[in-house]
Amino acid sequence: MKRFFALCILLPSMDSVALHHNAAAQTVLDNSAQKAPPFVKATLKSLTTRFSNAHPKFRNLVVHTNSDKKQIVCGQVSLSENKTPAEESFLSFGAAEDSEQPVVYEARTIPTTLDTREANQWINHGADLEELEELGCVPEGSYRQYGDNLNKVLQDRKTSATR
């Protein structure tokens, strides 16, 4: 009887503690995480924690080794609420075995005209693409193409401003 009474008191309080510890599960849509090294699972967990409100979904996970013999994971993550996210909702990401945070790059089209106050924001946005290129997660030349497009828009802005 005493045990029953103790359980009646403890269980409700344990339930309130459990509410504060949400479990974060990774969803890999294409089974590309099979036999993944521990650092890949840690990377996915890090991204799941980072985007905890969106319940991220992963695909196209690939692991390769860089010249320093460190493992690199590349893949795509969607923050869409849909069970089967649209193709355009996926963002490229990458992480090195010894990195602190994975790099996530959202491919956004550079507008045809930019206010000069927005230039730094677009330059900083391209830095993530540069880092993914260095990791080998996006094709070589992606960052250069991004920079060329950004410079063209900024040049057009300067030319238009002087007319």
- What is the pLDDT, as a whole number, of residue 163? 46
Give pLDDT, residue 161.
Answer: 52
Model confidence pLDDT, tens digit, residues 17-34: 333 334 445 678 887 777
Show the domain range for 29: 23-105
Is residue 140 situated within a structural domain?
yes
**Domain finish residue from 70, 85, 105:** 105
Is the pLDDT assigned to residue 79 strictly greater than 60?
Answer: yes
Burial 27-46 (b: 16+ CB within 10 A, else e): ebbeebbeebeebbeebbeb
Question: What does pTM read for this prediction?
Answer: 0.74
Q: Which of 61, 88, 105 is the last residue of a domain?
A: 105
Does 80 share its domain with 64? Answer: yes
Identify whether residues 94 and 144 lie together within a single domain.
no
